[in-house]
Amino acid sequence: MADRLIAAQPDLQTHHTSLDASLQSRIQDLAVQAVAAHGERLQVAIVVANHNSGEILASVGSSAYSADNRLGFIDMSRAVRSPGSTLKPLVYGLAFDEGLAHPETLIEDRAMDFGGYAPQNFDKIFRGEVRIREALQLSLNLPVVALTDALGPAKLMAGLRRAGVKARVPGGKPGLAVALGGVGVTLEDMVGLYATIARGGVAQPLHFNPQPVNSKHAATQPQGLRVLSKVAAWQVADILSGVAPPIGAPVNRLPYKTGTSYGHRDAWAIGFDGSHVIGVWMGRADGTPVPGVFGADLAAPLLFQAFARVKRQLDPLPLPPPSSLMVANANLPPPLQKFRPRQSAFMAANAPKVDFPPNGAEVELMDNHLLLRVRGGTGPFTWLADGEPILVSARAREQLVAMPGPGFVELSVIDSSGQSAQAKVRLR
């Protein structure tokens, strides 16, 4: 950070900053401890800010500036890295504002194919129908990609820009993978994004400029753009406050989110309370993978330790805005009870769907027989395996059918009106 200030104003003899010297020292000590037991190449960066004023109170770009093996001279708070799942809260907040969902809306967590893009959950397990609240708390991939598909990746990128995040997209054109970390961001910008959520959806650019004590300067600071409504920002914060803390950490309902980038190159944890926002990044400065690194295991405990060095007790979050709709799923307006993509209105009202086995699944054969189940459509039904009929004019929606044997197969079901659906599965 000192290098940055000097490079920006090389003729200035004295640089005044917003850093809290005591806090900066405590966070630096924490950074050194964090990497001590993880080999010679693991690196860490931590940023602490007051999200009400935008002041950065502590900035650690590496565990030690002179650590050669860890490339300590690189400021990892400004390095462009993949954010993993830490962009998911923004996707959900935008979906709330668009009227696509509510925290209690039901959404499917199942195998899906988005024009050839078929993401999976981190643990490769599908949980069926879940509440939006649970989908974010469990960091499920399929629901957030479905929401991004309904929003459009461009809207997500616009939200990032309004929050002050200078996102770098490989190839220049954003796709659905952006929701899962397919974009380059910096820790400093991500802390700013979470500060936006903490501030009720209004961006506040982070800065190192100190504000005079007891001055009106903070009140007259130019406000950033609104990224989320107050209601959506509060809903996201409320959901994140229900994420289970790391083992051994206090159960204090700290709203936070973790992320792990593709190939285990980056571990993230970012959280906030009523006054402060802290972001933690861990990985290798040279971008090589760190086998077995996860944001929840590595960065999250460090986030809670950092908050403990800022204050003894968290500051409370704001109360829900008066216009917040706080009801159970059954009491939501019918369009919000279950998520449906906007294009579903233009789809056939009763098109068939392969209910079992789901697309992308691995299924055990039972004496070389496979259970087939269709939902929707109008019987009788014809089933095909790799284009060859295996069941014709079946009136039952569920059938046990003999299969040639294990391997990959594309199943198709056709109803009496000629509508069809497909599922690619692996038989074992």
CATH of the domain at 393: 2.60.40.10
Asked if 393 and 286 sit in the same domain, the reply is no
For residue 371, which of 406, 402, 413 has the smallest C-alpha distance?
402
SS percent in the chain: helix, strand, coil, step 5: 30, 25, 50
Query: Is residue 24 one of the residues assigned to a domain?
Result: no
Residues 88 and 163 placed together within one structural domain of the fold: yes
Based on the fold, state whether residues 415 and 291 are members of the same structural domain.
no
Residue 129 located in a structural domain: yes
**Rounded to the nearest 10 degrees, how much is the dihedral formed by the CA atoms of 94, 99, 100, 104?**
100
* DSSP classification of residue 344: G
172 lies in some domain: yes
| Residue where one domain finishes, among candidates 290, 311, 337 | 337
Task: Decide if 170 contacts 157 (C-beta within 8 A).
Answer: no
Q: Give the CATH number of the domain where residue 125 resides.
A: 3.40.710.10
Indicate the SS3 state at residue 84: helix
Tell me which amino acid residue 419 is. Q
The 3-state DSSP class for residue 362 equals strand
In a domain, 301, yes or no: yes
Are both 137 and 259 inside the same structural domain?
yes
Is 343 a domain residue? no
Q: Which residue in this structure is represented by tokens 């809670």?
A: 304
Answer with the one of 312, 337, 362 that is the final residue of a domain.
Answer: 337
DSSP letters, 173-229, are S--GGGGGT-SBB-HHHHHHHHHHHHTTSB----B-----TT-STTTTSPP--B-S-
In this structure, the answer to whether residues 280 and 396 fall within a common structural domain is no
* Cα atoms in the 13 Å half-sphere on the side-chain side of 205: 12
Is the domain of 247 the same as that of 363? no
Residue 36 lies in a domain: no
Q: Are 189 and 265 in a shared domain?
A: yes
Q: HSE, CB side, 13 Å, CA atoms: give it for residue 198.
A: 31
Q: Helix or strand or coil: residue 319?
A: coil
- Are the CB atoms for 198 and 227 separated by under 8 Å? no
CA–CA distance, 260 with 296 (Å, rounded to integer): 8
Based on the domain organization, do 170 and 313 belong to the same domain? yes
Which helix (H) or strand (E) covers residue 13, if one does?
A: none
d(CA 231, CA 143): 21
Give the three-class secondary structure for 205.
coil
Looking at the structure of the chain, the number of domains it has is 2
Q: What is the per-residue pLDDT for 421?
A: 85
Q: What is the pLDDT of residue 214?
A: 56
The DSSP element (H or E) to which 239 belongs, if any, is helix 230-240
Residues 6+ apart with CB under 8 A from 188: 47, 59, 77, 78, 206, 279
What tens-digit pLDDT sequence spans the chain (428 residues)?
999 999 999 999 999 999 999 999 999 999 999 999 888 889 999 999 999 999 999 999 999 888 778 898 999 999 999 999 999 999 999 999 999 999 999 999 988 888 889 999 988 889 999 999 999 999 999 999 999 999 999 999 999 999 999 999 988 889 999 999 999 999 999 999 999 999 999 998 899 988 765 544 444 455 689 999 999 999 999 999 999 999 999 999 999 999 999 888 999 999 999 999 999 999 999 999 888 778 889 999 999 999 999 999 999 999 999 989 999 999 988 889 999 875 554 445 578 889 999 988 888 998 899 999 999 888 898 888 877 789 888 899 999 999 988 898 889 888 887 678 888 899 99
Of 282, 304, 337, the last residue of a domain is 337
DSSP states along 23-55: HHHHHHHHHHHHHHTSTTTEEEEEEEEETTT-B
CB of 145 closer than 8 Å to CB of 156 = no
d(CA 107, CA 330): 14
The letter for the amino acid at 138 is L
* Residue 55 located in a structural domain: no
**Within this chain, do residues 239 and 379 fall inside the same structural domain, yes or no?**
no
- The whole-angstrom separation of Cα 352 and Cα 378 is 7
Q: Are residues 204 and 114 part of one domain?
A: yes
Whether residue 290 sits in one domain with residue 395: no
269 bridge partner residues: 258, 280
Residue 313 lies in a domain: yes
First to last CA, the chain: 56
**Gap between the Cα atoms of 74 and 267, Å rounded:** 17
CB contact set of 40 (below 8 Å; sequence gap of 6+): 69, 70
Separation of alpha carbons 214 and 82, rounded Å: 39
The pLDDT score that the predictor gives to residue 220 is 44
Domain that holds residue 182: 84-337
Name the pairing type of β-strands 381-385 and 266-272.
unpaired
Quick one: 173 and 286 in the same domain?
yes
Contact 1, 16 (CB under 8 A): no
